[in-house]
């Protein structure tokens, strides 16, 4: 540390002397952007490698003058960047940590507001569909720009039949409590929490056993269909007036009475079965 400072000071004094000489002899005016690299190796290399659109300007477009003639040749971003909401955010260099590599961006873990200058749909979803995610910062999840974490970084799957990629079948990151799913969602995913219904249906001999959960419980979690949605008014009104619920004769959808393989009750009304739940 001490030694480095000493070398640095000596270099500084030496350069100071050289630059004073340039200056004294009126050469400062001739210090051009191609001279910088002679003493500053890092910045030209950084701009070369990751300068993005800062490649299109010269060192001196930003750094006007040089010590000792001009004491401060560090520009402020707002000299050049104006006129967009994003340019009103505070502390440009907290995210754009190095102006010579402007798109190498690092985030602190507690950011939300600055993201909103460019991204609005996500905050709308988070606020309009309150969940525990609504209270998190954007960068709690997005610690690196343009990247999204797997849900399983923070949560366990509901069962070992689920992988990280499956979460999106039912959840959206910014509104995780609004559970919706496509019609081709496999019953095995529901089985994680509804093993009873799953097993009952699987073991049933009736034709419903060949249907998936999502065929009947369509799209939105907790949607429960009516038998009539698919079957219409199957039987004469007279019978239905006497036995108003389909389940009075057929039992429940997951475990329909199966008269064809069991002893058939034929035309007479079968024994009324109390509707089972769960
Ligand atoms: C002859 C060597 C030399 C040349 C050529 C040179 N510099 Fe420097 N520069 C220095 C030294 C020495 C310092 C002071 C370093 C310190 O204080 O740590 C410095 C400091 C700087 C600083 C920091 C100023 C501050 O306030 O912290 C900037 C910016 C800078 N130079 C840009 C440039 C640019 C742009 C060019 C080309 C136009 C250039 N330099 C050419 C030697 C040079
Ligand atoms: C887009 C404007 C911009 C361009 C172009 C630019 N710089 Fe800088 N440079 C800055 C800013 C802003 C800082 C101050 C960074 C800080 O405060 O952390 C800086 C800092 C420096 C420093 C001080 C040490 C450091 O890295 O913080 C040096 C030396 C330097 N620049 C040299 C150069 C050279 C040489 C070039 C050309 C190859 C160049 N810069 C091009 C904006 C620029
Ligand atoms: C919270 C972090 C953050 C802060 C603070 C921040 N930026 Fe940005 N900035 C970004 C991100 C992220 C991008 C998008 C980069 C991308 O497209 O991958 C960006 C892009 C940019 C761009 C290029 C896109 C455009 O809109 O032109 C410029 C220029 C820019 N920022 C300038 C600034 C300035 C000037 C400030 C300070 C007033 C600033 N930024 C403050 C994160 C930030
Ligand atoms: C200056 C504007 C700007 C700012 C500020 C900004 N972003 Fe971005 N962001 C972009 C751009 C541009 C893209 C690329 C969009 C695309 O590919 O459609 C992007 C992409 C993303 C993506 C990936 C999108 C995808 O489709 O995979 C995420 C996640 C993201 N940003 C999160 C954030 C977070 C979190 C913040 C705040 C910490 C933030 N951004 C701040 C401009 C910005
Ligand atoms: C609980 C973690 C979490 C939080 C908090 C979060 N996101 Fe996301 N975000 C994700 C995940 C996971 C994805 C990927 C979704 C996908 O691939 O379907 C994502 C996707 C994105 C995308 C890509 C486009 C899209 O909508 O799918 C953007 C942009 C984005 N988030 C911005 C933000 C912003 C801005 C905030 C804060 C207002 C935020 N996120 C808060 C986890 C989160
Ligand atoms: C960076 C960590 C993180 C990531 C990534 C993440 N979550 Fe969360 N999630 C949380 C935290 C923290 C909570 C609140 C837990 C608590 O308080 O018990 C939460 C809560 C939830 C809740 C319950 C919400 C409520 O209000 O009860 C659901 C559902 C959820 N997450 C689903 C997901 C899904 C799906 C993904 C992927 C798209 C995901 N999470 C990604 C951190 C995360
Ligand atoms: C088949 C649909 C489905 C899939 C796939 C799914 N979830 Fe869920 N998840 C739900 C339902 C439904 C709830 C809400 C249960 C309730 O209302 O309490 C839930 C609740 C949650 C919760 C809140 C806490 C809890 O356990 O009740 C978290 C966290 C969660 N899911 C994470 C995940 C993750 C991580 C994945 C991927 C590995 C995933 N989910 C895949 C349907 C699904
Ligand atoms: C993470 C666990 C979880 C997953 C996965 C899950 N559910 Fe649920 N489900 C629940 C909970 C918790 C309830 C509420 C139970 C209660 O109120 O007694 C529920 C209730 C239901 C109800 C009953 C609604 C009512 O009015 O009684 C139906 C129907 C249902 N889920 C269907 C499904 C289907 C179909 C799937 C697969 C696409 C699924 N669930 C996936 C946890 C889950
Ligand atoms: C989403 C549509 C749907 C719903 C809701 C539905 N079913 Fe079905 N049901 C079917 C289909 C498809 C079949 C098989 C038809 C075939 O293969 O001929 C079927 C078959 C049946 C059969 C004949 C069973 C057999 O094994 O021969 C009965 C009885 C029946 N349903 C009664 C009901 C009752 C009672 C309800 C309400 C508790 C109900 N269904 C709800 C679609 C549905
Ligand atoms: C043929 C259509 C159909 C299929 C397939 C089906 N259900 Fe149902 N489910 C219903 C109907 C109708 C009800 C209302 C109760 C009744 O009348 O049987 C119901 C009730 C429920 C309930 C609430 C009452 C209870 O029994 O707990 C849950 C939870 C449920 N179903 C989950 C599932 C799951 C999980 C699957 C897949 C393994 C599934 N269902 C397959 C039609 C179906
Ligand atoms: C009074 C008892 C009773 C009631 C109530 C009842 N059913 Fe039936 N259902 C039967 C009998 C008996 C059969 C004939 C069984 C057979 O032919 O194997 C039958 C057959 C069916 C079939 C299969 C027909 C086929 O073509 O294979 C469907 C579907 C059905 N009923 C739906 C319903 C629906 C939906 C309701 C409620 C709106 C309902 N049933 C109410 C007794 C009843």
Kindly give the parts of the chain with pLDDT less than 70: 1-29, 261-278
Nearest alpha carbon, ligand 7 atom 14: 177
Look at residue 275 in the predicted model and tell me its pLDDT. 38
For 209, the token pair is 């056993």
* CA of 173 relative to ligand 10 center, distance in Å: 27
**CB under 6 Å to ligand 1: residues?**
11-12, 15, 18-19, 31, 33, 35-36, 38-40, 59-60, 63, 66-67, 72-74
Write the CA distances from 62 to 45, 58, 65, 77, 158, integer angstroms.
16, 7, 10, 9, 55
Probe target for ligand 7 pocket from 130, 157, 166, 179, with the most ligand atoms within 8 Å of CB: 179
Probe target for ligand 1 pocket from 8, 40, 44, with the most ligand atoms within 8 Å of CB: 40
Nearest alpha carbon, ligand 8 atom 15: 222
Look at residue 273 in the predicted model and tell me its pLDDT. 39
Look at residue 258 in the predicted model and tell me its pLDDT. 84
Q: What are the b/e assignments for 56-69, b being 16+ CB within 10 Å? A: eeebeebbeebeee
* CA of 84 relative to ligand 3 center, distance in Å: 10
Q: Which residues have CB under 8 Å from 192's CB, separation 6+?
A: 157, 158, 159, 161, 162
Please give the full DSSP string across 64-98, using - where no structure is assigned: -S-TTTSS--PPPGGGT--SSGGGGSS-HHHHB--
The terminus-to-terminus CA distance of the chain in angstroms comes to: 72
Look at residue 251 in the predicted model and tell me its pLDDT. 96
Look at residue 259 in the predicted model and tell me its pLDDT. 81
Look at residue 7 in the predicted model and tell me its pLDDT. 56
**CB under 6 Å to ligand 8: residues?**
158, 181, 185, 189-190, 192-194, 213-214, 217, 221-222, 224
Q: Which residues have CB under 8 Å from 165's CB, separation 6+?
A: none
pTM of the model: 0.90
CA distance 192 to 181: 15
Look at residue 276 in the predicted model and tell me its pLDDT. 39
CA distance 209 to 197: 11
Q: Where are the domains of the chain?
A: 1-29
């Amino acid at each position: 540390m001490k030694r480095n400072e000493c070398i640095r000071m000596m270099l500084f004094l030496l350069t100071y002397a050289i630059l004073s000489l340039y200056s004294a002899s009126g050469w400062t005016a001739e210090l051009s952007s191609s001279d910088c690299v002679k003493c500053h190796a890092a910045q030209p290399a950084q701009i070369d490698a990751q300068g993005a659109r800062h490649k299109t300007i010269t060192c001196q477009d930003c750094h006007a003058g040089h010590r000792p003639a001009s004491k401060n040749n560090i520009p402020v971003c707002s000299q050049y960047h104006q006129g967009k909401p994003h340019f009103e955010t505070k502390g440009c260099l907290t995210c754009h940590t190095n102006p010579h590599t402007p798109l190498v961006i690092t985030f602190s873990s507690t950011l939300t507001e600055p993201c909103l200058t460019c991204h609005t749909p996500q905050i709308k979803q988070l606020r309009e569909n309150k969940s525990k995610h609504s209270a998190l910062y954007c960068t709690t999840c997005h610690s690196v720009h343009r990247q999204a974490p797997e849900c399983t970084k923070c949560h366990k799957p509901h069962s070992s039949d689920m992988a990280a990629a499956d979460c999106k079948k039912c959840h959206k990151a910014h509104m995780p409590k609004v559970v919706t799913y496509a019609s081709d969602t496999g019953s095995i995913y529901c089985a994680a929490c509804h093993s009873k219904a799953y097993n009952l249906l699987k073991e049933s001999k009736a034709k419903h056993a060949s249907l998936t959960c999502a065929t009947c419980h369509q799209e939105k979690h907790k949607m429960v269909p009516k038998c009539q949605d698919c079957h219409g008014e199957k039987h004469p009104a007279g019978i239905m007036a006497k036995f108003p619920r389909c389940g009075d004769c057929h039992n429940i959808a997951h475990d329909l009475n199966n008269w064809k393989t069991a002893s058939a009750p034929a035309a007479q009304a079968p024994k009324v079965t109390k509707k089972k739940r769960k």
